[in-house]
Each structure stands twice: as structure tokens, then as C-alpha cells.
Structure 1
Amino acid sequence: MPDMKQATDHLQPIDLPCQIGLYYPGRQGRVGVQDTPENPIIRAERLRLRRWLSTNIDIQWNKHVKSINHNDQGVQVFFQDGSSAKGDILVGADGINSVVREQLLQTPSSALLKTVPLAAIIGEVTLHGDAFKRQLELGHSAYIYVAPDLGCWMFGGLHHALPDGVSGKHYWMLMKPDPTVADPNHWLQTATQQEKLDYALALVAKLPPKFREIYEATPASGIKQESHVWRDLELESLPAGRVVLLGDAAHAMTPFRGEGGYNALIDSMKLAKILAGVDGSDIDAIKKAVEEYNKEMLERGVEAVRASRGEQSAQKTKSANAKVMSAGQEARVLPEREIVLTARG
């Protein structure tokens, strides 16, 4: 495998460490987390991560699961294109709306997923020069600004830097508590891109200029058209057998602590280790190994789901001495400093 950080880092070609800035009311200056040799953080760009994960793997794309048969002898998956595949173990890493999970538990996702009462407007914009530099100074990788007086909080993130070294693709999420967000008649379901942008601009109008800038630079065409409803998942138990779940299929969580991808990677490494050497024809050995995996994975996953959900609901009441976590680390004071960018040839 290529070096993970070199292959996936979203800041390349800019020589800056991964950094997440946190701006909370009642705190002087900025706190946050940053990649260091002692406490490493990798913030991967999604496409680069997928390419890294697919190293030396012959992936067959567009295989949509239709049904699954599994018993003590093996497991078989049937796909919508009429093909099928057999094996000893099926790993369902197919996301929050996992078809593998639905087949395993014989329960639809709608009955398992919990709606997070938070309305969100999402925008994307490419920034250049000084505007790009100012966003990096707020948080090289991302930042959160909490504004309880406005009843909202915002997330700004770098998707990835561009090859010229002085530009980057950014995205933002403006979020506000709303218990009716999943209502099919909610205004965000039918609002135009311009209406969503106008709402966001009116809401952030009282923010300091450096936090308004990314909104004011975003065109209406950069606003996500679809309405985004956050959902998460807590499972108390899973059957131990030839079908195994990991990642969002097992413990989907909101992104407020940056731990979803982390837990998915931990799942995969622990599952690989626990299955190593297990005889694929020995169903008792498989059940024992999967039961051990499920127990640790669900305990860790549920804890992360609840912590992430609690993070957004507790933002209004965080005291100056309250513990703040992000990317699996406790936040510390991050001095603000000016960034100098160098254009690449």
C-alpha cells in the first residue's frame, strides 16, 4: 500500500498540517486539534481515499444487492443485474441505508434510523488567493463556529486544495435545531437554491466578517438542491454468523466529532485481525469470532454515536472549562497565525 497520508491528504500540495478550529462562545481565542507526530490526524479527501483503499483490488462497480442467502455452509449474494457471488463471509460496509443490514435483521432502515432534529443548508464554493488563505487560517482543514445568540452553528471545511497551491474547493453547513426537519412538507424540501442562500445570508449577517465571507462568496448554484436530514443508528446486538456489518451500516453517526470514518477503519482492522486464521468451513469458529467482533464494535460504535449526537445538542451550554473533543482528541488552544501561500508552476 502507498503511504496513507501522502496518498489521501486533502491539503496537498500545500505544506500545512491537518487542523480543525473550534470557536465557542465564552472562550477566549480558538481551540482545536492539529496533526502532530505525537497525536497524528489524517483528513482524507474522499476520492483519494477510495483510490488508496482499492489498491490491488479488482472492484466490480454497480453491483446492487437484491437478496442474501446464508447458512452454516456459506453465504450467497444476488445482485439486481442477475449475477451472484458465493463466499464464506459477507461484510456489509454499504452505508447508512445498508441493504445487507436490512437483509440480515429483516428490518427496514426506516425502522432503525433516528432522525437528528437539525435542519441544514449546505453550500460549495471554490476560493482563490486571499479568500482561500483566510479560510485556511480559520482552520487548515475545517472549523466550527457556534452562535447560540443566533440559534445556529456552522461548519466550514476544505474539500481539497487545488494543484496551483493557492486555491481550494470548500464547503459549508449552516445548521439550526428543528424538530420538524423530517416532515415531507418542511420548507427546505421545496425551497430553491436562491431561497436557501438568502436564508443563510440573513442568518449569518450579524457574524464577524471572517465567518460571513464564505457564505457571501457562494453563488446560488453552489447550494445543495436536495434537503439534508441527519440520521444516526444505535444497534443493541447483531447475530453472529457469516454476515457481518461495519462502518455506517452498523453505527451511522453525525459528523460533529469527526469519528465516523475513524470507527469504520477501526472496524475493518479489528475484523480482519479476528478472522485471520479462521477456517471458513468451521461455522462454530466463525460464529465465535464474529460474536467477539460484534461485542466490541457495537459498544464502541454506540458510544461514538451518542457522543456525536450529544455534541450538537450541547453546543449552547458548553462552559469555558468543558471538555471539547474532535477527531478523537481533546481540543487545546490553537494560536492564530498568518498563512503564506506559494503558487505552484
Structure 2
Amino acid sequence: MESRSNDLHVLIVGGGSAGLLIAQVLQKVNITCTVFEQDITPFARPRDWNFGIYWAQSRLDECLSDEKRAKIVTVQTDPSYVPSESSVMPVHNGQTGELMKNLPAPWSLRIHRRRWLKMLADGIDIQFGKKLESIERGEESVTITFTDGTKATGNLLIGAEGAHSVVREYLFGAEEAALIPSPVVASVTICKISREASLKLRALHPRYIITFHPNGVFTWMSKDPANWTRMMMQTWRSEEDTGLMGKGNEEVKLKTWYEMGREFGPPFDEIFATMDPKSPIWHNRLGYWPTKPWDGKGPITLAGDAAHPMTFHRGQGLNNAITDAADLLQHLRNMKAPTPLELAAAVKRYEAELVPRGREAVLASNENTNAVHDWATMMDSPLFKGGMAKEGDRIEVPIEKKANKVQTS
């Protein structure tokens, strides 16, 4: 661990990926931090998503200790899967079933949310059941109050509590901080399908599949081999959401899946038709917020989806959150002394890089989301043309993979 002072104390609101990654980098430079999470337990939310790391592998290595770096492969949806330079993500025509393209996805990781968060939380001071109510800032400190009446004071507050960030709302006001609604809606389920349908899907690819349908429906299908469950997602353009938004209405949501499934060719029609009728389904309209600077608000900053909430069709969210943490680490290491003044200067340098990068990622992701729901423009979308990497960027190969390649070449 690097030598720094414990006199500084950083408050992090949000115990998801961004908040815990930030906590990990603060730990690396020996700056005390506390993570405050509004959920009452680490895994209170029933949605057990999985998500991808496509180009930020080396930046992730920067954020973690040697011990945690060694555990990354174990928190994949399939820990037996060995990422390689030749890894791809197949794209199929949903109507005909034909393979349209194998998108390059070298060294990509598919992460199981709960295993990932458990790994990142290890060794971090986390307080649960802490819903943020108000913020009071001073020149070198900030105090936050929670709905249970408790308070905490630190030298810096980092809002990392996701797309609907209370900290972002404090910085900008409710209207300016609000998400911009996308014309695209998403329906996501964690479900089981028939064994036959599951084997057919697995035969196409062991981890995941994307389909584009000429009618404008985009689907994503991935699996957890531990219990043969599937994370499946459908997105499409819709002006109305009658009967789909909010909790409940599971029968209406499932009926939508069945009806859309009839438009698909084999084997995808069978997959939709055999979904477990008890499957939980979440439906919402996508939203985004092009990142903008938040100067002059005292010792407060943002990270992850709080700073750059974006649509997900190119899988850029987690990769940018990792980059946030890695960039912050670099600036913390360049502090001349462990003082509130130096900490504030480091955060300013961090924000100067984050704001333009976040804005570009948000706008590019939104453009891509619109493109993949229009058959005429889908073939020219950044996703179809460039895969999941950042446009114009090389893939960042994990540090240990680079070492292995040198040794074996």
C-alpha cells in the first residue's frame, strides 16, 4: 500500500461498481473512505445482472490489488471461460437466424454482478441502509445527512449512486440533472427456458448472442452456467408503455415477449416460447445525460453512471466507470501532500478529463442505440462496425495477459 495520510476522509454515496472501484483506489493510496449504500443488504435487489468489460481491462488492473486482480476471472458468469485475443460476440438476424457477423471482442470479460460486487466490497468500510437526504458543503469539508437522521463529514463527497443520482441533482438542480428520455424502451428478464432451447442457444456461442430483427427489435441473450439461467433483453422504439412500466403486470410483460417471439426464426422463436411463465421481468424507458462540468460546488464530484448515464447497447458504462477510478488514482498519486487543498486539486484534474470523455461516450452510445433499432442504419452503427471497443481506440489487454504473450511468443 502506498504511503499517504489517514487525515483525509472521503465519503462515497453508492455501493455499486463505480463506488466500490473508487473505494479500492482510495485504499491503494491509503486515504480513508466510507461507502454509503441505500440498500439494507449487499444483495437486496433481485435483479442479478451481468455486464461486460470490453476495453478497460488494463485500467481495471490499475485499480485493484494483486490479490483481487487474480480473482477477476473467477467472477465471470462462466469462471471456466478463458478470455483470448480471438474472442468474439456473434450477431444473428433475428428473423432468419443466420449469423450476420462475429464482432471482435478480444480479451473481453462477462462479469456476474453479485460475485463482482462481493469481490470489490472485500476490505471496504460500507454502511448499508443509508439513503441520502441532504448535503451541506464548506470550503474543505462536506457533511451529508441520511433519512435515518445520521450524518457523516469528510473532505470530499463522491456521488456514485447511479443514473438517478441525488448528488448530481444537488450539483445541477432537479431539472438540469434529469435524464433525457430515449425513444427506446427495454424489457429485461432473468429466466429459464427449455433444455432443448438452451442447448441450441449454447451451440451458437457459449457466453452470449445479439440479434437484430428487421422489425427494429434488438435482443441480447447471455447465460449463467451455474444454474442455467438466462439474462435476456429486448429493446425497441416505443412512444407508449401502457401496462409495462412499474412493478407488477408480469402477465402483460410476458405476453409482450411471447408476441415478439413469434416474429423470430429458429432457434430464437423456441427460446421466447419456452420462457418460464414465473420469470421476473423489468421494463423501463432508457435515458441519458450528456456530461457537463460542475465547477464551483465545493468538495463534491461524480463518478460512474452518476457522471455519465448512458444507454447500454455498446456496453460502455462499466468500462467508463473503471476509467473514472483509474484516472482518479493517477491524480491522487500526483498529490504533493495529503491535504484537503491537494485533494481538491487532484479532483479538479480528474474532472477535467472525465467531463469531455463522459460526454463523448454518452452521445456516442445514444447515437448507437438509435441506429441499432433501424434496419436501414443498423449496418452502419458503431456497434456493428466496430464491436464493443471505443471508436478509434485499441483494446486494452490486461497486464497479466500482455506478460503471458511476451513469455510465449
Q: TM-score band (shorter)?
A: 0.7 to 0.9
Q: How many residues align?
A: 314
Q: Which runs of 5+ in 1 are unaligned?
A: 331-345
Letter in 2 for 1:239: D
Cross-structure match for 2:42: none
Cross-structure match for 2:9: none
Residues 28-80 of structure 1, C-alpha deviations (whole Å, 9 max, x = no match) = 73423465xxx321111100110111121132111111112222221222222
C-alpha distance in 1 between matches for 2:367 and 2:379: 17
1:16 shift after superposition: 7.4
Q: How does 1:83-232 map to 2 (within 5 A)?
A: 83-105=150-172, 107-108=173-174, 111-127=177-193, 129-148=195-214, 150-158=215-223, 160-162=224-226, 167-181=227-241, 186-189=242-245, 192-224=249-281, 226-232=282-288
1:223 shift after superposition: 4.1
C-alpha distance in 2 between matches for 1:193 and 1:201: 12
Letter in 1 for 2:389: G
Q: How does 1:67-86 map to 2 (within 5 A)?
A: 67-86=134-153
1:4 shift after superposition: 4.0
CA contact (8 A) 2:291 2:355 kept: yes
C-alpha distance in 2 between matches for 1:282 and 1:33: 46
C-alpha distance in 2 between matches for 1:129 and 1:15: 25
Letter in 2 for 1:256: H
Cross-structure match for 2:294: 238
Letter in 2 for 1:174: Q
Cross-structure match for 1:31: 101
Cross-structure match for 1:341: none
Letter in 2 for 1:69: E
C-alpha distance in 2 between matches for 1:126 and 1:104: 43
Which of 304, 307, 310 matches 1:247?
A: 304
Q: Which moved more, 1:78-87 or 1:122-131?
A: 122-131
Cross-structure match for 1:302: 359
CA contact (8 A) 1:33 1:329 kept: no
Q: Which moved more, 1:248-257 or 1:319-328?
A: 319-328
Q: Which moved more, 1:131-140 or 1:293-302?
A: 131-140
Cross-structure match for 1:260: 317
1:218 shift after superposition: 0.9
CA contact (8 A) 1:236 1:298 kept: yes
Aligned-CA RMSD value:
2.9
Secondary structure at the aligned position of 2:269 is classed as: helix
Q: Against the structure 1 CA distance between its residues 70 and 320, is the aligned structure 2 distance closer, same or farther, given a 3 Å change threshold?
A: closer
**TM-score normalised by length of structure 2:** 0.69
C-alpha distance in 2 between matches for 1:40 and 1:325: 15
CA contact (8 A) 2:185 2:238 kept: yes
C-alpha distance in 2 between matches for 1:327 and 1:152: 19
**TM-score normalised by length of structure 1:** 0.80
Letter in 1 for 2:216: G
C-alpha distance in 2 between matches for 1:109 and 1:221: 38
CA contact (8 A) 1:119 1:178 kept: yes
CA contact (8 A) 2:194 2:275 kept: no
CA contact (8 A) 2:191 2:231 kept: yes
1:82 shift after superposition: 1.9
CA contact (8 A) 2:207 2:222 kept: yes
CA contact (8 A) 1:88 1:280 kept: no
Secondary structure at the aligned position of 1:66 is classed as: strand
Cross-structure match for 2:326: 269
CA contact (8 A) 1:142 1:155 kept: yes
Identity of aligned residues (%): 24
Letter in 2 for 1:161: P
